[in-house]
Amino acid sequence: MARSSNRSQRTVIEGGFTRDDFLVDEAAGTVACPAGHTVAITRSRGAEFGIRCRDCPLRARCTTSKRGRKLTLHEHDSVLFAARRQAETPEFQTVYRQHRPMVERSIAWIVRGNRKLRYRGTTKNDWWLHHRVAAVNLRRLITLGLHHTGTNWAIA
């Protein structure tokens, strides 16, 4: 698996290493750092480099911790890694830019004037949210040209 130059993830150190700069081998149960140090993945899905960071020439770009770099891996880490790689492709970016504004706008419509719960209890608030979302969706469909043809509903 090749290292990535993905800088969309936040780093503790400016220009430092992200999680994606570490090579995770699930089959072998190991994680390798950019300097080539390899450690085992713990039962709790962690990787602690500890003493290996002490004299590492890349330490200044990796961690500020006195105890060395630690990683906590998600149980679906490989899927998340693949999704980040896919999100970097031009095809994904094109589709994302096309649909993101409408999704963000729809969320804003749902939230507008509704930052606090109106009812006590999850049942009533769940009912209210489902109806609010249905109303926002219906408004969007009407904007797109929803009309009744006499027997069916259609979008122009």
Please identify every stretch of the chain with a pLDDT value under 70, giving residue numbers as ranges.
1-8
Residues 33 and 74 in one domain: yes
Cβ neighbors of 151 (< 8 A, separation 6 or more) are: none
- Does residue 138 belong to any structural domain of this protein? yes
Please report whether residue 91 resides in a domain: no
Domain count, the chain: 2
Please list the residues that pair with 38 across neighbouring strands. 32
Q: Is residue 9 part of a domain?
A: no
pLDDT digits (tens, 9 = 90+) for 127-151: 999 999 999 899 889 988 999 989 9
For the residues of 85-130, what is the DSSP string, one character each?
HHHTSHHHHHHHHHHHHHHHHHHHHHHTT-SS-SSSSHHHHHHHHH
DSSP-based helix, strand, coil % in the chain, nearest 5: 40, 15, 45
What gap in Å lies between CA 118 and CA 19, rounded to an integer?
41
pLDDT attached to residue 59: 92
* Domain span holding position 75: 19-83
Q: Are 62 and 111 members of one domain? A: no
Maximum distance among all alpha carbons in the chain?
78
Task: State the pTM of this model.
Answer: 0.61
Return d(Cα 7, Cα 155) in angstroms, integer: 42
**Is 40 contained in some domain?**
yes
**pLDDT number for residue 111:** 86
- Confidence at residue 156, expressed as pLDDT on a 0 to 100 scale: 79
- What pLDDT was estimated at residue 2? 42
71 and 115 assigned to the same domain: no
Assigned domain for 151 exists: yes
Q: Give the model's pLDDT for residue 8.
A: 63
Question: Residue 48: what pLDDT?
Answer: 95
CA distance 24 to 82: 12
Q: In this structure, are strands 38-40 and 23-25 parallel, antiparallel, or unpaired?
A: unpaired
Domain assignment present for residue 92? The answer is: no
Is residue 132 situated within a structural domain? yes
Whole-angstrom distance, CA of residue 9 vs CA of residue 102: 24
Residue 1 lies in a domain: no
